[in-house]
Amino acid sequence: MSLNFIGKFKISNPDGTLKVYGEGDIVEREGKYYYASAEISGFSPEHGETRGWKLLNSAGVYTGESAPYEPVVGQRWLNTTNGMLYEYIYDGNSYSWVGIL
């Protein structure tokens, strides 16, 4: 599953039809970040996992404006400033954050 930062959660499109979120879409709602584990329409992130929304922090993804202090290899970070998802890697020579979204 690839992740795709959408922005703020919206229940409907400008024309009034229900918005459809695809698997891997990431949304922000009231300061929390969620991703769709399946195609979702008509349910807000507050409906939780029974409706397909998963809280990113509970999935092991750090969310914030700056990278976490003392990261470990494999850790993921959603930069809430630019909507990019990063993974902390070691390439055999150095450690760095690499964009994966």
Q: Which domains does the chain have, with CATH numbers?
A: 4-58 (2.10.10), 61-99 (no CATH)
Tell me the three-class secondary structure of the chain, residue by residue: CCCEEEEECCCECCCCCECEECCCEEEEECCEEEEECCCEECCCHHHHHHHCEEECHHHCEEEECCCCCCCCCCCEEEECCCCCEEEEEECCCCEEEEECC
pLDDT in tens, 15-73: 999 999 999 899 988 888 898 999 999 999 989 888 999 888 766 788 889 998 888 88
Confidence of residue 80 (pLDDT cuts 50, 70, 90): confident
Confidence of residue 81 (pLDDT cuts 50, 70, 90): confident
pLDDT of residue 58: 64
